Amino acid sequence: MSISNSLSNALSGMNAASRMAEIVSSNVSNSLTDGYGRRSLNLSSAVVGGRGAGVEIGSVNRHVDRGILGDRRLAGASLGGFGSLVSTLNRIQDTVGQAGDSGSISARIVAVESALIDAASDPASTIRLSSLGGRLSDVAASLNASSGDIQTQRAQADTSIAGQVSQLNTALAQVEQFNVDISYSHHNGVDPSGLHDQRQRVIDVIAEIVPVRELDRDGGQVVNRRVKWDLCRGVRRGHFG
């Protein structure tokens, strides 16, 4: 082996070691970064004219556990849904009142029943009839106030849903563009790992709104089959599953 070949082999090894150190440092520095997937470098022996020519640097692999990622997204979507439900029920409970509270609707209805019994025992009593009228007025006022509060909560829910739909449409458009960019990078030999990280963060946002599970397609694109949203084109294919 000539000196030039030896130097060339050594240089290829140094380049490979430098690239591996770059990937390791990226893995360490982004260990807590949302959406980041651990990278590894493919290396192979280079052969020119039947003779060893050092190390050939191959592609960069991005490692993500699809099963854990999918389960986390489904659990997050379920948690978000139940969290909204509990929050809404708590607000309704605050509006209607708990059983036993003096200001609750149920307590005021009990007071009406008691006033009715008193009035029935002495229909000629003006005081008892006046007390019954007051209790009925309290129930009517409570029902009107509760109805207004619930209508306000419904309007807030409608506003929240509209905002989430807008956010979902924006995120689907972003995933569509990331699919295009990643496919382009694959076809041109450019490492698309950074684009994969960004797309994963966007899909995580989608998973907070609707339950999703992504499937891989050719060229690094993804499609979601669980709720029948085509993330490649951002078009709804059917009803939610």
Same domain, 48 and 70: no
Top-confidence residue, 133 or 94: 133
Domain stop point among 63, 98, 115: 63
Whether 179 is covered by a domain: the verdict is: yes
Whether 241 is covered by a domain: the verdict is: no
Pair 134, 79: CB distance under 8 Å: no
Determine what percent of the chain is predicted with pLDDT higher than 90: 18
User: Which tens digit of pLDDT belongs to each residue from 23-37?
Assistant: 999 999 998 888 899
Using a CB cutoff of 8 Å and minimum separation of 24, what contacts does 232-240 make? 232/175, 232/176, 232/179, 233/176, 234/169, 234/172, 234/173, 234/175, 234/176, 240/210, 240/211
- Residue 169 makes CB contacts below 8 A (sequence gap 6+) with 234
Same domain, 166 and 222: yes
Same domain, 185 and 92: yes
pLDDT at 231: 42
Same domain, 51 and 127: no
Whether 170 is covered by a domain: the verdict is: yes
Same domain, 42 and 112: no
Same domain, 82 and 132: yes
Domain stop point among 63, 78, 112: 63
Examine the pLDDT at 198 and tell me if it is beyond 90.
yes
Domain stop point among 17, 44, 63: 63
Range of the structural domain that residue 145 is part of: 66-236
Q: How confident is the model at residue 224 (pLDDT cuts 50, 70, 90)?
A: low
pLDDT at 195: 92
Determine what percent of the chain is predicted with pLDDT higher than 70: 91
How many domains does one find in the chain? 2
pLDDT at 1: 55
Same domain, 169 and 84: yes
Same domain, 55 and 86: no
User: Which tens digit of pLDDT belongs to each residue from 50-59?
Assistant: 777 788 888 8
User: Which tens digit of pLDDT belongs to each residue from 184-196?
Assistant: 888 888 889 999 9
pLDDT at 6: 79
- Residue 68 makes CB contacts below 8 A (sequence gap 6+) with none
Q: How confident is the model at residue 236 (pLDDT cuts 50, 70, 90)?
A: very low
Same domain, 29 and 145: no
pTM of the model: 0.70
Same domain, 117 and 217: yes
Examine the pLDDT at 98 and tell me if it is beyond 70.
yes
